[in-house]
Amino acid sequence: MTGPARVLVLGASGFVGRSVCACLAQRGITVRALTRDTLKARPLQVIPSIEIVAGTPHDDTDLARALDGADAVVNLVGILHQSRREPFEKVHAQLPARLARACHRAGVRRLVHVSALHADSGGPSEYLRSRGRGEEALRAGGAGLAVTVLRPSVIFGRDDSFLNLFAGLVWPLPVVPLAGAGVRFQPVWVEDVAQSVARCLEEARTVGESYDLCGPGVYTLEEIVQFVAGLQGLKRLVVALPDWAAYAQAFVLEHLPGPVMTRDNLASMKAESVCGCPFPAVLGFAPSAMESIVPEYMAAAGLRGRYAQYRRSTGR
């Protein structure tokens, strides 16, 4: 299978999107980024041959214009916290259905859809249920499309909202009250997710398949917090919260500006973010360990940098 020449990326200006766009461009692909926030998309302008198109994927006219002349599309649009303006249903379920219809009309057959590990319409949280409904919408409306679904675990990287969040939280707190302290995670590096997207576009065997993406290491949330604290030269006592206290904490936090935790996030932890299978061999590479990547950027961050990362991760 020959790789596409021009790829439309939805969610291009986000954390994962920036890595995907750069990875595709390195392969000589012309990347078209649809964004409603051209200011946020400015960092993409350093990527050679990128086309930045103003608009929203939730508008049929904007989506049709962005798909015109594209050979493939990558959907990275997703949110961790819903709002009245952007509920999970609109972003995770309705958009994939809209995209499938738009691809049919535009004659674009190749689609890589990035969902979430344990996405399931019967899942424990609305986040996972909406992700599951999005995949079901693609299966129902994607007849004739060459679709690949990727389901990554929690994604880490220099500008993530996961490790950087804990890096900001542990600095001022000698004792860290932690919900879900024993829940296991298998984080995957953002550059490995980006490479997976690119490989799927190039590899015909991935068409019609779904792949879970996890890194090589499994850690409890407490171990992750201690790892992040250690990189900053800190020793912190982590207090595992009982279920009732974790629920109360999430209730309070979700009502703060730029919520760092919601009750729905807590419900998602009932499905531990670990893979029950090895990294897909068809992708042709092995994922990187957290220990080999994170120290390169986090240990070097100064106090001001840590607080800047924290503000970015919480939307402040």
Residue 315 is predicted with a pLDDT of 45
Give the pLDDT of residue 230.
93
pLDDT given at position 300: 59
Q: Cα separation of 79 and 258, whole Å?
A: 13
Answer whether residue 282 is part of any domain.
no
**Same domain for 227 and 93:** no
Q: Are residues 74 and 175 in the same domain?
A: no
Pairing of strands 30-35, 155-156: unpaired
In-domain check, residue 47: yes
pLDDT of 37? 82
- On whether both 193 and 224 belong to a single domain, the answer is no
Domain assignment of residue 267, yes or no: yes
Containing structural domain, residue 20: 6-155+188-213
41 and 93 share a domain?
Answer: yes
Residues near 132 by beta carbon (within 8 Å), at least 6 away in sequence: 119, 120, 121, 122, 123
Mean of all residue pLDDT scores within the chain: 91
The pLDDT value recorded for residue 141 is: 83
CATH number at residue 57: 3.40.50.720
List the one residue out of 144, 232, 211, 218 whose CA is nearest residue 187: 218
Same domain, 38 and 179: no
Would residue 229 count as lying in a domain?
yes
Q: Domain total for the chain?
A: 2
126 and 259: one domain?
Answer: no
Residues 258 and 174 in one domain: yes
Q: Kindly state whether residue 283 falls inside one of the protein's structural domains.
A: no
Residue 312's pLDDT is: 46
Look at residues 94, 101, 112 and name the one whose alpha carbon lies nearest to residue 206: 112
Which pTM was predicted? 0.92
What pLDDT is recorded for position 310? 41
Please tell me the predicted confidence (pLDDT) of residue 297.
Answer: 85
pLDDT on residue 45: 87
> Is 248 part of any domain?
yes
Do 264 and 192 reside in the same domain of the chain?
no
Residues 19, 144, single domain; the answer is yes
Q: For the segment 37-56, what is each residue's pLDDT rounded down to a tens digit? A: 878 888 898 988 899 999 99
Residue 314: predicted pLDDT: 42
Q: Are residues 222 and 87 in the same domain?
A: no
| Whether residues 208 and 224 fall in one domain | no
List, run by run, the mean pLDDT of 10-residue segments along the chain (316 residues): 87 95 95 88 87 94 96 96 93 97 96 98 97 95 92 95 90 92 97 98 96 97 96 93 95 86 95 95 97 85 45 44
Q: Do the domain assignments include residue 43?
A: yes
- Does residue 281 lie in a domain region? no
Task: End-to-end CA distance of the chain: give it in Å, rounded.
Answer: 44
150 and 167 housed in the same domain: no
